Structure 1
């Protein structure tokens, strides 16, 4: 109610001051990049003035005209800002005003208002002075480059690579070792099994900055190793925001394609959720569902079958263009006659896209038992087409109230995502391969996934006057769901005699319902005390946090059975559930439940993680800054679930956990960071830290999760396999060493060289289960100790060193090279030796899974702010990376490098350049996304292969 009244008051104030204009800006220390609290702002020759608040920000309402502002603060040179033009009803934004420390003689610094455009320079200052090794991108640079979403902007950050167009990995390390936070608070993504958040959901006009921390300090969560990426959204817009944007893209291989595959869904699919069309039939959860052998009546059996949606086949349709639209608005206003301010910001976004892959291949390959055979033979090859349609609806809203020494902020975010998929495959299974029966099948697959995420943040920041104390507290609950209602697979097996359903071959038609819900609640506070050490600024920081997570997960499985033989004169999926085939007619179809009671594919898990830390930042020697700290985290994870044996009634040999601890550890994470200033523009950094990577909920479970298209199965780590895995998955603890030399130059130009070393204790990797030879199954396991060495280079340089005529052109690039090594366990080494090829020498070390040997980002840009032009050609590639660890009969699987070459062009038009036109070309090289089986002297064989094609995008946005 209080916020509502403030909003009404703010609207009144906006009307009152409609005949005035507003001057806004932020005052920062030029040397440190820190904001200045309490700086005096005075309009020359008047008594009109104010002081900066806890963010160093100020706002003045004045009549239209041209003014000179005087800025003063004890210990700093005075600054005069001339030619500040104020227009009625508009905001004159001065951005960051940088105060220089006073010398023996105080002089006034005079600048003109139009010359102050230093947001990117301020980020460079923060990067230079930050305790951790930082890389990032500011809102000013995002605006300059025309990046529409956070994922496009993040591609420009050193060492960052993008997976699947959404997820951000740092230094080539996979998802397990990267972490994303929103406003410095843990937040799960739409995919709860990933550490990283989907970054394509955030429009850049709501973002203050994106910063990647390459090393750990005690005030950060300890569960990252490659990098911690934080997205900071705007709380107080510097000026009024009212933006509309629309965009579309065209891919010749995917759009306006009459061969596109889809199927009839629900009426609300376009909003990202199912309307009940795919709902689980009533009574399907019963221990005994109606079947001809369960004692149910004929009518009960028939009625139950008819509750299932009869559509089992993919349909050829026509695909449309991709489309997205966004609306953002925000502002800040003064409340009453005080300097208190109310800020608000809201955003709505909608996105839909079509994908059609005409040449999709999934392969399962094996080694031969004969050591003289180096080639691989196939067990199963699936080839076909797949269509996907994705909908994303996002809403973000925030209110913030600020006094001179306190700030309160409330934000809410809701994301709703729905994706339907239809596919048709020809399945070729080789009966000569180990564990295979041999068959040919034609499969139709229909899937739908809906995901939602609701996040709230309540944040308060308080500066206790001039005492040097600052308190920041945050409460942030997140509620997420991920449901797969009615996954359908229908595979006719072709024999020499007929075409029918065969359980041991293509399988009987099946349906799966999967549901996941998760709660993630975070409470944290940080307290900072500024003080003097040997006459220099120092900072003591300490705090605590508690994170609670709970996940409920369930899989329900049903398949078609036949009360007698089969006869399919017209073997197509559309004919299967016609009235003439369901019980008691024709093929006498009925549904059989594959679910035991209790369900082995259902679990409940929860985590309580309590953390405390202390950190001290001080200068022990001239030009040397030290940041020493330690963090303690008490992490307890509990699990309720059981294996198939227990669920089938074997309570003696089976395993059952009832809210039992599967992880329980108190860890201390020390960190030491040293920064030596070689000169005003050069730093030499050194750091040591200890971090951790923990198993996810599904990894510490008995769940068996099948991908219905590929038939690949994920197994929770709690399953034991005699002789190869004991079922005890532990955390990975990592020691980190970092060095960096960095040089900062004018205009945001920079050059840096970094070196890093990481030592892994019990890393977790996804392993092909060697004992499962009739099916393709994987399991997360601890694989032995690991280590990696790496170097990282970054440069950003204007081409004016060649000629002043090229000053609008810029070169940027960053390259990361990594050498990784896993010391295998005896089990893995012996399994590899048993399948050693003639002429091959199997070593007891190998590359780490998920770690790319190199990451390259390069860009050539053109920027002419006065004429409103911005263009760039950007290249990104990540080296060949071990995806899945193969053992024995099965070889390793590697991601193939994907060479991404993209072009973007942005033109701002209009008197004030408020309208922007974007043109983009993606995947110019038309590269494929692929991964391959690799073995000694063998031709690489396909594991996954799709072609995303080349796409052309056009966008239009307007700032009112």
Structure 2
């Protein structure tokens, strides 16, 4: 049972205002059918005979004293709209105006408006008028549901699930087939075992909305199948705005637990910063003597290593978090030029305690007449996890009547401390029991610099958008400590073939992406032509440094992890007995590699309105993809030096049809070809050991990309402002899907392989309904539900098929 208790939640707006009461009326004007912003719309205040006009993004702003007013919106070819508003007390009112195309003489539309921006309505409008199948959540939905990070928020989107509270699955497809982008630009993952970034690292406080594109269009990257998750960061507000939130949560199992497992660690762990506690204490190239050399330097080196090897029980605290946001806008001239900024800092600490967790591996009996599976390995124990996340975002925007320039700088730090004690029973070649003490500290960080510009030529109806992004990311597993004691006849000892390990793993990556998109609105504003270019370069370094603790002259221990490197148990030349450090890194060069990815893309797309109710988008994307690899195997017989391991030139067509059954309902059909490429680690000859599971990953340099045929159909209906109903069906055919396979001769080793072909198909249902139809007093309550039913099939590869035949019962 989980109980969540909000200890303190404080959210307020602070403004430094002048004594005279002026109010800001701002907003955007859209085409009601296409959801495209409308420039050069006349916005007049009829009572004051003053006004303004919308810029190239369809935005406008007015400053008015307290009172009631009529705003009139007019532009050629559209039905005029009149809004009645009342403003006072230094309010900022945001209006969303949707103008209907004029087909005949119609009276003006007069609508009373609220003083609140409804971003949930905006996201639903985007879904309704999008050229592809899109689902999403707005910042308003984040606030209403109390969602603090994207991982918890995105689960509310139909067809989306989150594994381990971090990794997004879309339509039942894992991170290999799901892509995460930030402001429509690639960002690297922070886990060498994953192809996507951890979603719990992003606080909702820095985002305007989260959009999940489930069908491919030519302007999107082609390396996705399940969906593309686009995180859209905040834009600057209309006037100065500050928000502070502080919160806490409590779980009776996880928090204020006297048996919470942890260890001392470093002084700056609470800031996700290593103060040097977790660094390798010696030069990685320093030669470590052997015991037979009787060199006291071995004793000195051993003493430099942190002797803390065992978890200790210690009472933890409540989960807690805070976030501070500030933004403002300034007019820099009387010609519509403005400057805005935003800044946000967020912090969160969470505790998780897992009691009696169990991991089992099974095997078949060699006797084919025995049908029951046998236990090959069983691991049970307790694990404590302390997770710290620190985020900072700063941005500045400069806007003119025809252009907009934006620069954002984002930094995220994450520190995760794991402490566990496990009993491990092996039943493979022999029967062995171990008690394993496990300590690990993982530090993740990502820094993203983003620069973009939008330029609009209103006369020629031509828009240019360019974006440049540079990202530095790193994940550092620092001093992962695995200390297994073999238990035999109630006595603990160190097995010669399973010595304690100290592991440091470093992954560093630099990503550079440049993108340009061009859009031409044709004579009929419903028809458009788009084309664009993209270039990306990714450079990853990966290294593992492995040290072991050898034992000489001591046969039994008490099973306490911290006793192993206690000063009285360290080897010295005088005693010639005790524990000492062994450098294993020099023997396993497969732990080191460098890899690069280069992608050069171009696309063209045409949007046509074939009839009053039917529109289509035809697109074609060209991608030239290369992967280069540098590394060698353990025996040094196979070497790569910046060699090309993947070189593909591919075309990715897409077609999307949208038929408007009514003004508020659509029927959509789509087809596209996409791809899923091997990760850096997979297309390699690296051999990476996991000390917690005792499993070893072995790369496959011969992997091929997967190619997918995608087909979708969707019915959707929208009513009121936030009501909607959608029913979707999809089918996907995979050629050469990449899956993990185990070796028959070494079941603790696994490797990625291309496995024939596969199919995935399913249905999705989503329903959102405001409850005011029951009673007007329930207008602030909503009913939301979604359901996904997904079926997958995979054809086995020849080796697996033959293996199953050989062991068939």
TM-score (norm 1): 0.80
Instruction: State how far apart, in whole Å, the 2-side matches of 1:328 and 1:202 are.
Output: 14
Counterpart CA distance in 2 for 1:402 and 1:17 is 28
CA distance in 1, matches of 2:536, 2:607: 26
Residue aligning to 2:228: 228
Find the counterpart in structure 2 of residue 273 from structure 1.
273
| Counterpart Cα distance in 1 of 2:719 and 2:65 | 39
Counterparts of 1:929-940 in structure 2, within 5 Å, are: none
Of the three residues 608, 616, 635, the one matched with 2:606 is 616
Q: Determine helix, strand or coil for the equivalent of 2:126.
A: helix
Q: Structure 1 residue 127: deviation in Å?
A: 1.5
Query: Counterparts of 1:115 and 1:105 in 2: how far apart (Å)?
Result: 30
SS of match in other structure, 1:667: strand
Equivalent residue for 2:732, pick from 720, 740, 758: 758
1:552 is the counterpart of 2:541:
yes
Does 1:660 find its partner at 2:643?
A: yes
Per the TM alignment, residue 823 of structure 1 is displaced from its structure 2 partner at its CA by 1.8
Q: Does 1:148 align with 2:139?
A: no
Tell me how far apart the structure 2 counterparts of residues 369 and 670 of structure 1 sit (CA, whole Å): 50
Partner Cα separation in structure 2 for residue 450 and residue 821 of structure 1: 37
**2:483 matched to which residue of 1?**
490
The residue aligned with 1:949 is: none
Q: Which residue number corresponds to residue 440 of structure 1?
A: 433
2:561 to 567, 573, 577: 573
The answer for the alignment partner of 2:512 in structure 1 is: 521
SS of match in other structure, 2:208: strand
User: How far is the alpha carbon of 1:586 from its aligned partner?
Assistant: 6.5
| Residue in 2 that maps onto 1:925 | none
SS in 2 for 1:600: helix
From 787, 790, 801, the counterpart of 2:759:
787
Q: What secondary structure does 1:483 align onto?
A: strand
- 1:147 shift after superposition: 3.0
Paired position in structure 2 for 1:831: 803
The equivalent residue for 1:196 is: 196
Q: 1:214 to 1:497 in 2, by over 3 A?
A: closer
Q: Which residue matches 1:884? A: none
Preserved contact between residue 521 and residue 528 of structure 2 (Cα < 8 Å): yes
Query: Is 2:177–2:226's contact at 8 Å kept on the other side of the alignment?
Result: yes
Counting only pairs closer than 5 Å after superposition, residues 738-753 of structure 1 correspond to structure 2 as 738-753=712-727
Q: What is the deviation of 1:205? A: 4.1
Aligned counterpart, 1:25: 27
TM-aligned CA deviation for residue 401 of structure 1: 0.8
- Structure 2 distance, partners of 1:146, 1:265, is 32
Once residues 351 and 151 of structure 2 are traced to their aligned partners in structure 1, the CA distance between those partners, rounded to angstroms, is 19
Distance 1:634 1:452, change over 3 A: same
Select between 182-191 and 120-129 the one with higher mean Cα deviation: 120-129
In structure 2, runs of 5+ residues without a counterpart are 1-14
Taking the aligned partners of 1:247 and 1:115, their CA distance within structure 2 comes to 28
* 2:296 match: secondary structure: helix
Equivalent in the alignment of 2:341: 344
Deviation (angstroms), 1:570:
4.0
Report whether the alignment pairs 1:607 with 2:597: yes
Matched, 1:213 2:213: yes
Which residue in the other structure is 1:291 paired with? 290
Cα 1:423–1:683 change in 2 (3 A) is same
In the alignment, which of 466, 470, 474 is matched to residue 473 of structure 1? 466
Give, in angstroms, the shift of residue 25 of structure 1: 1.6
For residue 635 of structure 2, the aligned residue among 645, 651, 655 is 645
Structure 1 residues 209-218 or 68-77, which shifts more? 68-77
> Which shifted more, 18-27 or 675-684?
18-27
Distance 2:645 2:174 in 1: 24
CA contact (8 A) 1:390 1:419 kept: yes
The one-character-per-residue Cα deviations of 1:107-138 (angstroms, maximum 9, x if unpaired) are 22222342775543333332222111111122
Q: Who is 1:377 aligned against?
A: 374
Paired residue for 1:816, among 766, 778, 788? Answer: 788
CA distance in 2 between partners of 1:147 and 1:353 (Å)? 15
Equivalences, count: 793
Following TM superposition, by how much is the alpha carbon of 1:802 offset from its aligned partner in structure 2, in angstroms? 6.0
Aligned residue in 1 for 2:621? 631
Asked if 1 retains the 8 angstrom alpha-carbon contact of 2:188 and 2:197, the reply is yes
Maintained 8 Å contact 1:485/1:512: yes
Secondary structure of the structure 2 residue equivalent to 1:114:
coil
> Among 526, 530, 533, which residue is 2:521 paired with?
530
Cα deviation 1:677-705 (Å, max 9, x = unaligned): 22222222111100000010011112222
Query: Does 2:659 match 1:676?
Result: yes
Farther off after superposition, 73-82 or 246-255: 73-82
Note if 1:736 corresponds to 2:710.
yes
Deviation at 1:708, TM superposition (A): 1.1
Secondary structure of 2:527's partner? strand
Partner-residue secondary structure (3-state), 2:680: coil
Cα deviation for residue 806 of structure 1 reads 6.0
Partner Cα separation in structure 2 for residue 824 and residue 54 of structure 1: 54
Cα deviation 1:828-849 (Å, max 9, x = unaligned) = 1111111112xxxxxxxxxxxx
Aligned pair partner of 2:330 in 333, 353, 359: 333
- Structure 1 residues 273-296: Cα deviation after superposition (integer angstroms, max 9, x where no partner): 21111211223333x323334x5x
Give the structure 1 partner of residue 686 of structure 2. Answer: 703
Cα distance in 1 for residues equivalent to 2:415 and 2:310: 20
Paired residues of 1:180 and 1:195 also in contact (CA < 8 A): no
Secondary structure, in 3 states, of the residue corresponding to 1:28?
A: strand
Q: Map Cα deviations across residues 124-163 of structure 1 (whole Å, 9 max, x no partner).
A: 3322221111111223333333433333332221211122
* 1:96–1:119 Cα contact (<8 Å) kept: no
Structure 2 residue aligned with 1:56: 58
Point out the more displaced range, 666-675 or 707-716.
707-716
TM-score by length of 2: 0.94
Residue 605 of structure 1 deviates from its aligned partner by 0.3
Cα shift readout 1:768-821 (whole Å, capped 9, x = no counterpart): 222214xx1211111111122222222223456667676655332222222221
State how far apart, in whole Å, the 1-side matches of 2:528 and 2:630 are. 44
Which residue matches 2:37? 35
Which residue number corresponds to residue 11 of structure 2? none
SS where residue 537 of structure 1 aligns? coil
Task: Give SS of 1:831's match.
Answer: helix
1:510 to 501, 519, 528: 501
CA distance in 1 between partners of 2:470 and 2:476 (Å): 20
User: 1:81-480, aligned counterparts within 5 Å?
Assistant: 81-87=83-89, 90-114=90-114, 118-286=118-286, 288-293=287-292, 295=293, 298-430=295-427, 433=428, 436-480=429-473
How has the CA–CA distance of structure 1 residues 497 and 86 changed in structure 2, closer, same or farther, with 3 Å as cutoff? closer
Q: Offset of 1:17 from its aligned partner?
A: 9.6
Conserved in 1, the CA contact under 8 Å of 2:289 and 2:298? yes
Q: Contact 2:255 / 2:351 at 8 angstroms: preserved in 1? A: yes
1:188–1:194 Cα contact (<8 Å) kept: no
CA contact (8 A) 2:476 2:506 kept: yes
CA distances 1:533-584 after superposition (whole Å, capped 9, x unpaired): xx5621000000011001000011111223x432446442222212222222
Spell out, residue by residue over 1:488-526, the C-alpha distance to the aligned partner (whole angstroms, 9 max, x if none). Answer: 11122122484211123xx22211111110011110000
| Equivalent position SS for 1:128 | helix
Task: Give the C-alpha shift of residue 442 in structure 1.
Answer: 1.5
Cα contact 1:93–1:239 (8 A) shared by 2? no
- Structure 1 residues 60 and 700, CA gap change in structure 2 (3 angstroms): same
Q: Measure the CA separation in 1 of the matches of 2:146 and 2:43.
A: 33
Partners of 1:93 and 1:238 within 8 A in 2: no
1:797 paired with 2:769, answer yes
